[in-house]
Amino acid sequence: MVENLRLPAHLAVENVADDDRASLFAVAEGIDDVVGDWLARCGGDGRLIVTLASHDFAAGLLVMIRSLRKVSDIPVLVLKIGSWRFEHEAPQVAAIEVPPLRRSGVETRPDLPHLIVTLSKLWAFSITTPKRIAYIDADCLILRPIKGLLDGDGFAAAPDLLLHYRLRAFNTGVFSFTPSADLRRRLFERLPELSVADGDQSVLNAFFEEWRQLPLGLNFLRSQALVRALAQDRHLRILHFTPGKPWVDGPSHPRDHALAPLEDLWTAHLSDAEYREVKRQWHQDVDAVEQNLTAWASRSAGLYRDQIAEGLKQTRRRQRLWLAGLALLSALQTLVLVFLVLRG
């Protein structure tokens, strides 16, 4: 059911650096044209929901759209990173492969590989034809109607109480804005000077100094301790699995065990076959972790063996020194004794 949209061949480039103005604007306009045509074909009321996914977020994307379709029929556009096939049973869904948007000269941080991928979220600002756009991360689960998300004007987002509890900053897992060619130009022109320390989140926080606060329930971060108490609360509309994804095994924090019921809310949207597939992935992850542990343990066992052997060697050397000292001392004592006897 997913409509696969394509950028014209000359724009389907490998990636776009944020200081390459010509390519940035050409690709942005290309995305706008293709998406504009699709929206004109599918009708709708001028509202659009955009999301972003690389292949490792496919399970998240499946569930996000499935849960969204229980409460909303607004068209959904998937910005796809990489060429992989995405299928979904939901109507009014289109996908378009976009080139990864990268910060010129900045390589991916090996500890946070997703940060640079998420920069491509900014392609959402290429689109200018809808009246209002809401962006929703593929690791979100829609629990209740998202009323209020697409209302109003300007840029709107919910505060990030996890990363930025000292600052007043918003989380970029869910936000809405009124698109325009002017907004696109202003954002993309300033892009090279905006910090990418936190991926798209720091870019957008630096750019939108004025923002309207959405209710926390429209982007409730899983890691916020309160989420447990509020999970059943009627104010909780969108649950954002950050950090820690329900389709990836392995707790990232001891507190995660306490949050396990939230994972059940997510898996409830899977068919039996999909659930088995997710479990198979979990088992694969666990196997990989176990293999790492075994390799690590045997390496460090070897290390400890060497350290123990070295320690023993040093202890024996020290023992020998003591014994030699003692022998010397008793020899001296004997000499003194002999001397005293002979004199006496």
Closest contact distance (angstroms) between CB of 223 and ligand GLC is 10
Applying CB under 6 A, does 198 fall inside the site for ligand GLC? yes
Applying CB under 6 A, does 242 fall inside the site for ligand GLC? yes
Nearer to Mn ion, 38 or 177 (CB): 177
Closest contact distance (angstroms) between CB of 118 and ligand GLC is 4
Applying CB under 6 A, does 54 fall inside the site for ligand GLC? no
CA distances from 167 to 58, 207, 321, 323 (A): 32, 15, 63, 66
Give 224's Cβ-side CA count (13 Å radius).
Answer: 21
Applying CB under 5 A, does 139 fall inside the site for Mn ion? yes
Closest contact distance (angstroms) between CB of 147 and ligand GLC is 22
Which listed residue (48, 57, 146, 200) binds ligand GLC by CB under 6 A?
200
Nearer to ligand GLC, 34 or 143 (CB): 143
Applying CB under 6 A, does 171 fall inside the site for ligand GLC? yes
Quickly list DSSP for 288-309: HHHHHHHHHHHHHHHHHHHHHH
Find residue 3's DSSP bridge partners: 94
Which listed residue (78, 115, 143, 191) binds ligand GLC by CB under 6 A?
115
Place of tokens 């490998």: 14
Closest contact distance (angstroms) between CB of 137 and Mn ion is 4
Closest contact distance (angstroms) between CB of 43 and ligand GLC is 30
Applying CB under 6 A, does 137 fall inside the site for ligand GLC? yes
Nearer to ligand GLC, 34 or 119 (CB): 119
Q: Is the CB of residue 125 less than 8 Å from the CB of residue 249?
A: no
Which listed residue (51, 54, 72, 172) binds ligand GLC by CB under 6 A?
172
Applying CB under 5 A, does 242 fall inside the site for Mn ion? yes
Closest contact distance (angstroms) between CB of 294 and ligand GLC is 31
Nearer to Mn ion, 24 or 146 (CB): 146
Positive or negative CA dihedral for 250, 81, 270, 75? positive
Stretch that binds ligand GLC, among 29-37, 63-71, 198-206, 290-298 (CB under 6 A): 198-206
Applying CB under 6 A, does 51 fall inside the site for ligand GLC? no
Cα(212)–Cα(34) distance, integer angstroms:
30
Helices (H) and strands (E) in the chain, counts: 8, 13
Q: Is the CB of residue 100 less than 8 Å from the CB of residue 116?
A: yes
Q: Is the CB of residue 192 less than 8 Å from the CB of residue 208?
A: no
Binding to Mn ion, residues 165-204 (CB under 5 A): 173
Give residue 160's identity as a one-letter amino acid code.
D
String marking each residue 309-328 x if it binds Mn ion according to CB under 5 A? --------------------
Applying CB under 6 A, does 201 fall inside the site for ligand GLC? yes
The percent of the chain in helix, strand and coil, each rounded to the nearest 5, is: 50, 15, 35
Applying CB under 6 A, does 223 fall inside the site for ligand GLC? no
Q: Is the CB of residue 140 less than 8 Å from the CB of residue 239?
A: yes
Closest contact distance (angstroms) between CB of 76 and ligand GLC is 17
Place of tokens 């994972």: 263
Cα(137)–Cα(17) distance, integer angstroms:
23
CA distances from 127 to 26, 49, 130, 133, 198 (A): 12, 11, 8, 9, 23
Applying CB under 5 A, does 118 fall inside the site for Mn ion? no
Closest contact distance (angstroms) between CB of 106 and ligand GLC is 14
For residue 220, which of 292, 160, 180, 274 has the smallest C-alpha distance?
A: 160
What does the binding site for Mn ion look like in residue numbers (CB under 5 A)? 137, 139, 173, 242
What does the binding site for ligand GLC look like in residue numbers (CB under 6 A)? 115, 118, 137, 171-173, 198-201, 242
